[in-house]
Amino acid sequence: MGSVRDGVAGSITRPLSIVQEHVGFVPNLFRPLTLQPKLLESFVALLDAILFKQNCLSRVQKESILFVLAAARSNAYCFAWHFQTLKLFGVPEQRLEQIAADYEQVELAPQNRALLKFVLKLGLAGNSISRQDIGDALLGGLTEESLLDAILTTALSRLLCMAALGLRPNLDFSARTLPVPLRRSWGTPRECGGPYLNSPRFEPQDLAPFAFLQEFLRLIPNVFRAQTLRMDALLAELALTEAILFADSGLTRKQKQSVGLAIATADRNIYWMALFSELLGEVGESANSTLTECAVKLAKATPEFAMEAIEALDSKGFTQDQIIEWAVVVSFACFLNTVQFGLGATPEFSPPNLSSPVLEKIVHLPAEEPRHSVDGTPVDPDTEIVARVQVGDVDAFEELIHRHSRRVYRTLVGILADPDEARDAMQDTFLKAYQHLSGFQRRSKFSTWLLSIASNTGIERLRRRKEVESLDGSGLETEEGFRPRQIQAWEDDPEQLYSRIEMRSLIENGVMRLPAKYRVVVMLRDIEQLSAEDAAAALGLGIPALKARLLRGRLMLREALAPHFMKGAKGAAH
Amino acid sequence: MISCSDFIAEIGNYLDGEVATEVRAKLQEHLAHCQTCTILVDSARKTLRIVTDAGSFDLPETTFRPIADRIMARIRETAK
């Protein structure tokens, strides 16, 4: 397929002229929506109300929220778009890079620091927001009005990032290198403890969309009542709610509300789970469909999952219009969840029973895989497949090979420094894993257990080569005595110096020349991007030892790469 | 003020955003005065960025598929 990217090129309709006026161009994200003019109009009206209209927060503050969140989510499309917009507003490139990498290291006004702290937590871990976070933001210099602006902009950011994944627009500008996301901890999920902000009370007779909701739902949902401080945004949001969720179109109302329920469940948003369940009546077959499963996949927010989801819908015979609509419904459901998390609106109905088979299925496809379950044991996405293999479903093992082969291969290249031998050892690793799977007791994740087998397999081979001491190392890992030799500044954009293939080759050569005990740690942490805990467990190391080796490995790799990336060195290095 | 060795010992945690506020302040105070460590931290951050982004040591489908087939053939043989 691929046609979701396209759309009707040609005349700029009225909504697009609004976008053109305020953005300076029409981002490609809007092109697929031109196939559905009503949807486009409502979508742009929401953007206009939240982003373009002058409110408590300035446009630069709102664009900064969109930019920082796009960076934190590694969303290449939105990152490049908002980078460019902020540049047009006069923010220097270097400052933007610093803010994207870690705003805490940049000199910012206290109010802006409080703003970014709040929106990052709301945008990345909405269900851990509590009254305390609202209090901290108010103490940091924000007002209730500016907080509502921030909540809406954060929700808009989630909508845009999700739409960019689901609609797959071409980049508007050349790709920029995304910063490495910082690992942050956000605290535990909270109950809805709001409403956190004051809002003037409106009744159905005061506001036409409220009258519609009263007639349709027999109540005005608290999440909308909590937004009456920003009437323009509320009206745009209600119009989009009506167009997307309460009307039959390419997808039926039931289908779209089922997608809403799936996204609420994946986000653990009790409020919207309760409301969508009430709307759908009995939670039944309608939720157990390709549409909802693909929605949860899209909400995982990586291009790979998005592609898989779109291809699955395509293969099931959904039309291009339906897929576009589906992507917008998922994006808007994410928007609604984020708004509710920020406002703390309390549910009108009891949430559905999480042990219902349909919801259980959704819960097992979390939007962002949590690292640990409530009781502190690791959450393992492989549990179900491992169980199938353990009861004799041999073919299910192929899925485990598929999921973990690259990780196993990198571990083995890290240890053996020989790609051919690593491929042989990979085969040994999976065969051993299969032989011993009946004894696997889930004290760790399957992937950690598998990597420890890979690690032992690699070490055995080193032992045969009599090189095992190179992995064990000796004495304390310390940076004492380490003196950087390459101390010339690097080019601002080292990625621009070489093609992707050249870059990969430089890095692979640099990594291969590291001593084994550093190489394997760099491989698992920085290339495979395992957490420190998982990498340490796989290699049988303590966290301090792992960190010490990682630091030394990174510094040695920096030394090896420096001649290729220091200012003016490209010619000399070739 | 902390020395360059102290700074280098903490640079890993600093790059991973895992230093306490007061330690971060000391590191930044050092950076404000030390050109060498400023270059070191900037180039280490760029190293991390390019290493993370490059997709090195990938296992293309054409390489992976025959290996997976061999493993599954052996396993099916064992399971009989």
3-state secondary structure A266-311: HCCCHHHHHHHHHHHCCCCHHHCCHHHHHHHHHCCCCHHHHHHHHH
Contact B43 A486 (CB under 8 A): yes
Specify which of A161-165, A213-217, B24-28 reaches the highest per-range mean pLDDT. Answer: A161-165
Look at residue A353 in the predicted model and tell me its pLDDT: 64
- Residue of chain B nearest A483, judged by CA positions: B5
Can you tell me whether residue A341 is helix, strand or coil?
helix
Look at residue B68 in the predicted model and tell me its pLDDT: 93
Q: In chain A, which residues have their Cβ closer than 8 Å to the Cβ of B29? A: none
Q: Is the predicted pLDDT of residue A491 greater than 80, yes or no? A: yes
Contact A435 B78 (CB under 8 A): yes
Asked which of A450-464, A476-490, B5-19, B25-39 is least confident by mean pLDDT, the reply is A476-490
Minimal Cα–Cα distance from B1 to chain A, Å?
A: 18
Look at residue A532 in the predicted model and tell me its pLDDT: 83
Asked which of A23-37, A281-295, A339-353, A425-439 is least confident by mean pLDDT, the reply is A281-295
Q: Which among B19, B30, B63, B71 is the top mutation candidate for probing chain A, defined by the most A β-carbons within 10 Å of its own β-carbon?
A: B71
| Band (A211; pLDDT cuts 50, 70, 90) | confident
Contact B59 A427 (CB under 8 A): no
Can you tell me whether residue A490 is helix, strand or coil?
strand
Minimal Cα–Cα distance from A259 to chain B, Å?
A: 33
Q: Is the predicted pLDDT of residue A369 greater than 60, yes or no? A: no
Q: Is the predicted pLDDT of residue A9 greater than 80, yes or no? A: no
Q: Is the predicted pLDDT of residue B34 greater than 50, yes or no? A: yes
**How is residue A279 written in tokens?**
């709307």
Segment A166-173 shows an average pLDDT of 88
Share of chain A above pLDDT 90, in %: 38
Look at residue A570 in the predicted model and tell me its pLDDT: 67
Q: Is the predicted pLDDT of residue A4 greater than 50, yes or no? A: no
Between A217 and A112, name the one with better pLDDT: A112
User: How many other β-carbons are positioned within 10 Å of the β-carbon of residue A164?
Assistant: 27
Look at residue A487 in the predicted model and tell me its pLDDT: 81
Segment A239-256 shows an average pLDDT of 84
Give the integer Cα–Cα distance in Å for A301 and A160. 11
Q: In chain A, which residues have their Cβ closer than 8 Å to the Cβ of B47? A: 554, 557-558, 561
Look at residue A367 in the predicted model and tell me its pLDDT: 37
What would the pLDDT profile of A87-123 be if each residue is shown by its tens digit?
Answer: 999 999 999 999 998 898 888 899 999 999 999 999 9
Interface of A with B in 500-539 (CB under 8 A): 500, 503-504, 507-508, 511, 522-523, 526-527, 529
Segment A136-152 shows an average pLDDT of 93
pTM of the model: 0.57
Segment A522-533 shows an average pLDDT of 84
Q: Is the Cβ of A415 closer than 8 Å to some Cβ of chain B?
A: no
Q: Which among A184, A409, A429, A513 is the top mutation candidate for probing chain B, defined by the most B β-carbons within 10 Å of its own β-carbon?
A: A409
Q: Is the Cβ of A557 closer than 8 Å to some Cβ of chain B?
A: yes
Q: Which residues of B touch A (CB under 8 A)?
A: 5, 8-9, 11-13, 15-18, 24, 28, 36, 39-40, 42-59, 63-64, 67-68, 70-72, 74-76, 78-79
Minimal Cα–Cα distance from A184 to chain B, Å?
A: 8
CB A266 within 8 A of CB A299: yes
Q: How many CB pairs under 8 A join A and B?
A: 136
CB B64 within 8 A of CB A405: yes
Q: Shortest CA distance to A46 belongs to which of A335, A293, A288, A445?
A: A335
Can you tell me whether residue A400 is helix, strand or coil?
helix
Minimal Cα–Cα distance from B57 to chain A, Å?
A: 6
Give the integer Cα–Cα distance in Å for A501 and B58. 12
Between A52 and A468, name the one with better pLDDT: A52
Contact A489 B70 (CB under 8 A): no
Q: Shortest CA distance to B30 belongs to which of B52, B58, B3?
A: B3
Q: Is the predicted pLDDT of residue A469 greater than 60, yes or no? A: no
Minimal Cα–Cα distance from A60 to chain B, Å?
A: 26
Segment A339-362 shows an average pLDDT of 75
CB A258 within 8 A of CB A287: yes
Segment B1-28 shows an average pLDDT of 84
Q: Which among A393, A403, A487 is the top mutation candidate for probing chain B, defined by the most B β-carbons within 10 Å of its own β-carbon?
A: A487
Interface of A with B in 438-497 (CB under 8 A): 478-480, 482, 484, 486-490, 494-495
What would the pLDDT profile of A192-210 be if each residue is shown by its tens digit?
Answer: 677 888 888 888 888 888 8
Look at residue A357 in the predicted model and tell me its pLDDT: 55
Q: Is the predicted pLDDT of residue A152 greater than 90, yes or no? A: yes
H-state helical runs in A490-541: 500-512, 516-522, 532-539
Give the integer Cα–Cα distance in Å for A82 and A559. 33
Look at residue A557 in the predicted model and tell me its pLDDT: 93
Q: Is the predicted pLDDT of residue A515 greater than 70, yes or no? A: yes
Q: Which among B43, B45, B80 is the top mutation candidate for probing chain A, defined by the most A β-carbons within 10 Å of its own β-carbon?
A: B43
Instruction: Write the residue in A104, A409, A494 that is nearest to B59 by C-beta.
Output: A409
Look at residue A207 in the predicted model and tell me its pLDDT: 85
Look at residue A82 in the predicted model and tell me its pLDDT: 95
Instruction: Write the residue in B40, B48, B68 that is nearest to A402 by C-beta.
Output: B68
Look at residue A495 in the predicted model and tell me its pLDDT: 81
Instruction: Write the residue in B18, B42, B58 that is nearest to A490 by C-beta.
Output: B42
Minimal Cα–Cα distance from B27 to chain A, Å?
A: 11
Residue A161: phi and psi, rounded to 5, are -65, -45
Contact B46 A490 (CB under 8 A): yes
Look at residue A362 in the predicted model and tell me its pLDDT: 56
Contact B71 A427 (CB under 8 A): yes
Integer angstrom CA distances of residue A373 from A179, A366, A370 = 28, 12, 7
Q: Is the Cβ of A561 closer than 8 Å to some Cβ of chain B?
A: yes
CB A35 within 8 A of CB A355: no
| Band (A474; pLDDT cuts 50, 70, 90) | very low
Look at residue A468 in the predicted model and tell me its pLDDT: 55
- Residue of chain B nearest A563, judged by CA positions: B43
Q: Is the predicted pLDDT of residue B55 greater than 90, yes or no? A: no
Give the integer Cα–Cα distance in Å for A447 and A432. 14
Which residues partner with A490 through β-bridges?
A566
Contact A551 B18 (CB under 8 A): no
Q: Is the predicted pLDDT of residue A534 greater than 90, yes or no? A: no
ipTM: 0.91
- Residue of chain B nearest A526, judged by CA positions: B52
Instruction: Write the residue in A434, A487, A522 that is nearest to B40 by C-beta.
Output: A487
Q: Is the predicted pLDDT of residue A316 greater than 50, yes or no? A: yes
Look at residue A379 in the predicted model and tell me its pLDDT: 63
Q: What angle in degrees, to the nearest 10, is found between the helix axes of A543-565 and B35-53?
A: 100
Q: In chain A, which residues have their Cβ closer than 8 Å to the Cβ of B28? A: 105
Buried (b) or exposed (e) across A381-407, using 16+ Cβ within 10 A?
ebeebbebbeeeeeebbbebbeebbbb
